[in-house]
Structure 1
Amino acid sequence: MNIPMLDLTQQYQTLKEDINKALDKVMSSARFILGPNVKQLEESVAKYSRVSYGVGVASGSDALHISLEACGIKEGDEVIVPAFTFFATAGAVARAGATPVFADIDPVTFNIDPKSIEKLITDKTKAIIPVHLYGQMADMKAIKDIADKHHLYIIEDAAQAIGAEFEGKRAGEIGATACYSFFPTKNLGAYGDAGMIVTNSEELAERSRVLRAHGSKPKYYHHVLGYNSRLDEMQAAILNVKLEHLNKWNEMRRKNAAYYTELLNKELGDRVITPVEVENRYHVYHQYTIRVKDRDQLQQFLKDNGVATMIYYPKPLHLQPVFSDLGYKEGDLPESEKACKEALSLPMFPELSKEQQEYIVSKIKEFYQ
């Protein structure tokens, strides 16, 4: 049996007619940049996130970068980010001219540890970027308490967590802004790069709109140095079709996650640490990530048996060569470093079958016997 990490072909077949109709309308209209589909998507995603404004941009990475600049983050400022996440989180801080300051993670959820944040705040700290990793929101109550106490911006990196909730609040409702990626592999994925900033602040939304269009307002009058970062009509048209199905897909992911957990706990006991969904959080399982010993050997064994897996992430950000000038060394953030050696993401997509899951778990069991 061959099982991919993600299978988008099944999803496309169910939506093919609607997507092709939507794309044909765009082609016929000859409106390709910042047209009615983008406006509709901005309004729909903002409503879905229970906030007032959405600003479509070219990618999730750009959403982070533009959010930082909209919040006034600049050279000399510090922004606290988790060390265990995708590079874009810290990369956006550096591209804004600020310094990323790396916090350790909670080993249970893989998310940034509020206790680690508190120790890192200085008079240069201007913002915190909690990443809602793998589809589960960080401890936003504790993070908001810290941010309020020190008058810091919260920019939610919700690239993997559209639809996730913390104590009844959706990703996007708590921070000054939240940033989505619509990369094809995401729970709500385009057929290319795309992203969005959502916010309740009219001021931050307007700044973001200006920054995404070369810093111009009105057109051809430039008061700030901006970027070319616009969500195009074709991607927006695809996303408008897919957004209607997001809640259903997230529920299918949750059912698949529950079945994985049932099988793994039954068949492997303490050999595998399964994901923990913390009380009062709604996890949307962008990834189903386990912790195991002999991770690399297990990954190779599964590959040899037709099962694709991914390591998110093999090297923590504080030890990346590009940040070597910041002076971090191995051992500084032990939980992040440990996660990089133990985390393994199994195939996860809404259409994943029970038969496929049973095969995957049987092979993991076979490896450890």
Structure 2
Amino acid sequence: MKVPMLDLSEQYQGLRTEVIEAMDQVMSSSQFILGSSVKKLEADIAKYSNVTHGIGCGNGSDAIHIALQALGVGPGDEVITTPFTFFATGGAIVRAGATPVYVDIDPVTFNIDPEKIEAAITEKTKAIIPVHLYGQMADMERIAEIARKNNLAVVEDAAQAIGAKQNGKSVGELGSAATYSFFPTKNLGAYGDGGMIVTNDDETAESCRVIRVHGSKPKYYHHVLGYNSRLDELQAAVLNVKFPYLDEWSSLRRDKAATYTNLLNEKLGDLVTTPVEKEGNYHVFHQYTIRVEQRDELQKFLKEQGVATMIYYPLPLHVQPVFKNLGYKEGDLPLSEKAASEALSLPMFPELKTEQQEYVVAKIAEFFGK
């Protein structure tokens, strides 16, 4: 059996007629830049996030960068974040002119450990970027409390967590702003790049809107140095078709996750560490990530058996070559480094079949001689 990491073809076949009609409407309108499709998506995603503003932009990486700039983060500032994340998180901080300060993770959730944040705060600290990794929110209540106490901005990197909740609060409600990615593989994915910033703050929202169009307001009058980072109208049209299905897809992902967990616990016991959904959290399982000591050997074996897997992420940001100047070394953040050597993400998408999951788990059990 072949089990792909992700298969978008079945989803597309179910939406094909709606998608083609939506794209044809854009073509017929000849309104390709920041038109009605973008405005609708911005309003819908803002409402979904229980905030007042949505600002579409070119991609999730730009969303973080623009949000930081809108919140006044710049040269000389420090931004505290996790090293166990995609490069865009740290890259956006540096692109804004600031310095990333990495603190270690909670090994259970893979998210930043809020109890390690306060010790990293200095007079230069301007913001915190928690990353809601794999679809589960970091401890936003504690992070927001720390931020208020120290007068810091909080930008939630929610690239993998649209629809996630914590004690009834949505992504974006507890931070200064939150950012989404609509990369095709995401839970709500476009057919190309796309991103969005959501916020409750009017001033931050207006700054984001200005920054995404070269810093101009009105057009051709530039008061800040901005960027060309607008959400494409065609991508917004696709996302408007997909968005009404998002909650159903999230529910299906949670069902698939429960199936994996039950099968793995039954067949392998403590040989494999399965994901934990913290109390009060609503995990949307962008990825289903296990921990296993023989990770690389297991991945190689599964590939030979037709099972695709991914390692998110093999090298934490604090020891990436491009950040060598920050002065970190191996051993500085041991929990992140250990997670990077053990984390393995299994196939996960709403259309994943139970027999495919059973095959995946059977092959993992075979690897361990179970």
TM bin, normalised by shorter chain, reads: over 0.9
Q: Which amino acid aligns with 1:271?
A: L
Q: CA deviation at 1:273?
A: 0.1
Q: Deviations over 1:150-197 (max 9, x none)?
A: 000010000000000011101111111000000000000000000000
Alpha-carbon distance in structure 1 between the residues aligned to 2:92 and 2:326: 16
Secondary structure of 1:274's match?
coil
SS of residue paired to 2:3: coil
State the Cα distance separating 1:145 from its structure 2 match: 1.1
**Aligned length in residues:** 369
The answer for the alignment partner of 2:150 in structure 1 is: 150
Please state if 1:248 is matched with 2:244. Answer: no
Spell out the pairing of 1:194-233 with structure 2 (5 A cutoff): 194-233=194-233
Matches within 5 A, 1:1-369: 1-369=1-369
Q: Name the CA distance, whole Å, in 1 between partners of 2:264 and 2:238.
A: 36
Aligned amino acid, residue 39 of structure 1: K
Measured in 2, the distance between the counterparts of 1:302 and 1:74 equals 45
Q: 1:293 Cα shift?
A: 1.1
Cα shift at 1:106: 0.0
Runs of 4+ in 1 over 6 A off after TM superposition: none
Matched residues in 2 for 1:69 and 1:5: separation? 35
Q: Which SS does the other structure have where 2:120 is aligned?
A: coil
Distance 2:116 2:322 in 1: 23
CA RMSD of aligned residues (A): 0.4
What fraction of aligned residue pairs are identical, expressed as a percent?
68
Matched to 2:316, the amino acid is P
Q: Which stretches in structure 1 are left out of the alignment for 5+ residues?
A: none
SS of 1:241 mapped into structure 2: helix
Give the Å deviation of 1:142.
Answer: 1.0
Residue type of the alignment partner of 1:94: V
Give the secondary structure class of the aligned counterpart of 1:349: coil
1:305-345 CA distance string (max 9 Å, x none): 00000000000000000000110011100000000000000
C-alpha deviation, 1:91, in angstroms: 0.3
Distance 1:279 1:211 in 2: 38
d(CA) in 2 for partners of 1:168 and 1:335?
29
Q: TM-score, normalised by structure 1?
A: 1.00
Q: Please give the secondary structure, in 2, of the residue aligned with 1:119.
A: helix
- What code does the residue aligned with 2:281 have? R
Q: TM-score, normalised to structure 2's length? A: 0.99
In 2: Cα distance, 1:118 partner to 1:343 partner: 27
What is the one-letter code of the residue matched to 1:97?
Answer: G
Unaligned ranges ≥5, structure 2:
none
The one-letter amino acid paired with 1:332 is D
